[in-house]
Amino acid sequence: MVTDLDSALDALLHFSGRRSRGHSSVDTLRALLDHLGNPERRYRIVHVAGTSGKTSTAYLIRGLLEAAGHRTGLTVSPHIVGVNERVQVGGLPVEEDRFVAYVNDFLPRAESLERELTYFELGVGLALWVFAQENVEYAIVEVGIGGLRDATNALQDPDKLCVVAPVGLDHTDILGDSVDTIAVQKAGIIGPRNTVVVIDQDEVVLEVVREHAREVGGSVVVATHPEGARYQERNLALAKAAVGVLGSRYGFDVPEIDGAAHTPPGRYEWFRHDDRVLILDGAHNPQKMAGLVETLEADGLTHVAVLATLLQSPESKLAATLSVLAPLVSHLIVPEYELGAGDKVKRSFPADVVVDQARLLGLEAEAVRTPAEGLELLLARPERHLVVTGSLYLVSLARPLVVERWGSSLGGLC
């Protein structure tokens, strides 16, 4: 019996064993939704893909729709504060007691399917089922990885609105080693007669999106942004364009909102203590890191002490990501972490590997055993500006410690 958020997370994580060879996430989630009575047909779907900015864009779309008077559901991953972040209704994670009750009701339904379900498939299925119980009008659904083969691509309806954020190199071992190949995976969320709103970006990506839309009889809207716009401003431009399509389709105006008020936890999230600032940002690939560095520089933060590591991945990604961050770093502290157990573990690079790579870039760097130890050293540094980055999992481990020491965050753009 699930009794709190921790036991809910444990129950979802350990519902199924290791994923079998040949497992199809799309087919499995489609079977689960059919088994549940197709809850996804009771509201409109906004499906968000991309390499960078998709979570922030999803939050902004949610914020715009709520401001326009519409009840929304939002499902994103990974969670930073609690597992109920994966099931948000009306602008907030479902409250713990209600979330627990939903999980206890949902898990026997999922079990009766008698089919292997991964943690991600189960979480998305739970969210889509809860949205129907909560009578949302719109569900904003963030892709897990890629798009074409992602479980969320079980959501196929001519009225689905697709949104594609910036596309770059990430998860190359799964999605391919070139931007155009990865773009094919992202564009794969576009189904028959769907409209897709894509942020203006590399023409290679735009052409892949246009070609796929043509093949399925869809239409494309390119969301433009001012020259020199920060990545948060680009995310807001994409969100406004997406909600603009919905407004034109269903007869409502796009409201104005404060983008900073809709910043997800751990995405350029500011904390302040006296005259010092600490920023949490889960940038975990070169494209995301470039956006972080660009924004730090624009905000005048050019000499920062950093706590950072990356989830284990090809070492070329580690080198590329660190090289983008390096010009701003006065001192680097590298922890290690391990989350989960067995074959469902998330593990960082060994700290010594990251330190060695950092020193090759000319950085002053030191290794520590844990994120908690690393944060203590970071807070003891003399620099006024501090950053935790490189991994959303690292951010999720550091954030409660920061809140305990420095209080609640100031949100996003400051």
Q: Which pLDDT belongs to residue 173? A: 57
Q: Is 40 within a domain?
A: yes
Let me know whether 386 and 398 are in one domain: yes
Q: Which pLDDT belongs to residue 176? A: 61
Let me know whether 277 and 178 are in one domain: no
Let me know whether 382 and 318 are in one domain: yes
Let me know whether 254 and 172 are in one domain: yes
Q: Is 35 within a domain?
A: yes
Q: Is 412 within a domain?
A: no
Q: What is the CATH number of the domain that holds 270?
A: 3.90.190.20
Rg, Å, the chain Cα set: 21
Question: Among the three residues 233, 261, 289, which one is the final residue of a domain in this structure?
Answer: 261
Q: Is 414 within a domain?
A: no
Q: Is 278 within a domain?
A: yes
Let me know whether 253 and 317 are in one domain: no
Number of domains in the chain: 2
Let me know whether 252 and 271 are in one domain: no
Q: What is the CATH number of the domain that holds 145?
A: 3.40.1190.10
pTM of this prediction exceeds 0.75: yes
Let me know whether 99 and 211 are in one domain: yes
Q: Is 243 within a domain?
A: yes
Q: Which pLDDT belongs to residue 12? A: 94
Let me know whether 116 and 72 are in one domain: yes
- Per residue of the chain (414 residues), what is the pLDDT tens digit? 899 999 999 999 989 766 778 899 999 999 999 999 999 999 999 999 999 899 999 999 999 999 999 999 999 999 999 999 999 999 999 999 999 999 999 999 999 999 999 999 999 999 999 999 999 999 999 999 889 999 999 999 999 999 999 998 665 555 666 888 899 999 999 999 999 999 999 999 999 999 999 999 999 999 999 888 888 899 999 999 999 999 999 999 999 999 888 989 999 999 999 999 999 999 988 988 998 999 999 999 999 999 999 999 888 889 999 999 999 999 999 999 998 766 668 899 999 999 999 999 999 999 999 999 999 999 999 999 999 999 999 999 999 999 999 988 776 644
Question: Among the three residues 261, 288, 306, which one is the final residue of a domain in this structure?
Answer: 261
Let me know whether 206 and 104 are in one domain: yes
Let me know whether 198 and 127 are in one domain: yes
Q: Is 138 within a domain?
A: yes
Let me know whether 255 and 270 are in one domain: no
Let me know whether 249 and 272 are in one domain: no
65: its two tokens: 């729709």
* Residue range of the domain that includes 383: 265-406
Q: Is 191 within a domain?
A: yes
Question: Among the three residues 226, 261, 296, which one is the final residue of a domain in this structure?
Answer: 261
